[in-house]
Amino acid sequence: MRDLLSVCSAKGYVKPSIYQGQYNALFRSCEKYLFPLLREHNIKFYAYSPLAGGFLTGKLTPPEMASSAAFPAAESNPSVTNSLSSRNRYTGPNAAPFWNNVFNRPPVHRALKHLSETLQSLPEAKGMSLAEVSLRWLVYHSALGNEDGVILGASRAEQVAENVRYCRAGPLSEDIRKAVEGLWEDSRKDRFGERVNL
């Protein structure tokens, strides 16, 4: 991106006004270098995959790790099993390596399980789903600015309505915000506590 902007400056080309990139509570690597560069050139950032391809709903965590309402067990929710086995994004010959390498990893599932358990212990989080806290964190507490945007995707109209409602629900409490903030570091640790670079 820096090279592109340098060429634009040198040649007098019009610089991009919007950058669309992946950004969510599980994927924040763009905060360190990309966001400052975009701000320097007055480029807005539009975040896609705000729920990390479905992982921030909790529904893609393996059933054996399901211990809360946010991680429905397969036996009580057959659609979870069906979604895991039918999503070509994560399984089969058409699985995209990026999604599996970044999100479908044990540290991510452990971090999501830990966040779910933390939310269960906070009275102010009662009734909130992982999707809700993840979207509200992105809209109100992340590195996004007022001119940036969030691209909501869904397979059903009711999901769009629900996600919009979450985004309009306002900032999270400080304890919930901190819990979501910890997801990024926790998800990058291997089982021995060592940090994994993404």
| pLDDT at residue 77, as a whole number | 41
Given a contact cutoff of 8 angstroms between Cβ atoms, the answer to whether 11 and 114 are in contact is no
When divided into structural domains, the chain yields a total of: 1
- Whether residue 164 is predicted with pLDDT greater than 90 in this model: the reply is yes
Residues sharing a CB contact under 8 Å with residue 78, sequence separation 6 or more, in sequence order: none
Q: How confident is the model at residue 18 (pLDDT cuts 50, 70, 90)?
A: very high
* 180 vs 174: CA distance, rounded Å: 10
Residue 70 domain-assigned (yes or no): yes
- Per residue in 51-96, pLDDT (tens digit) is 998 999 988 876 565 444 444 433 344 444 444 445 556 777 667 7
Residue 193 domain-assigned (yes or no): no
* 88 vs 84: CA distance, rounded Å: 9
User: Token pair of 67, please?
Assistant: 């211990």
- In 121-180, DSSP assigns E strands to 149-150
| pLDDT at residue 96, as a whole number | 72
Residue 191 domain-assigned (yes or no): no
Q: Which residues pair with 21 in a beta bridge?
A: 47
Domain that holds residue 173: 2-6+17-186
Assign residue 83 the CATH number of its domain: 3.20.20.100
Residue 198 domain-assigned (yes or no): no
User: What's the predicted TM-score (pTM) here?
Assistant: 0.82
Residue 151 domain-assigned (yes or no): yes
- Whether residue 182 is predicted with pLDDT greater than 90 in this model: the reply is yes
Residue 196 domain-assigned (yes or no): no
| pLDDT at residue 22, as a whole number | 95
Please give the angle made by the CA atoms of 166, 171 and 173, to the nearest 5 degrees.
115
In the predicted model, what is the mean pLDDT of the chain?
A: 84
Residue 53 domain-assigned (yes or no): yes
Given a contact cutoff of 8 angstroms between Cβ atoms, the answer to whether 21 and 34 are in contact is yes
Which one, of 44, 51, 61, lies nearest residue 163 by Cα?
A: 51
Q: How confident is the model at residue 161 (pLDDT cuts 50, 70, 90)?
A: very high
- Whether residue 197 is predicted with pLDDT greater than 80 in this model: the reply is no
Residue 40 domain-assigned (yes or no): yes
| pLDDT at residue 97, as a whole number | 78
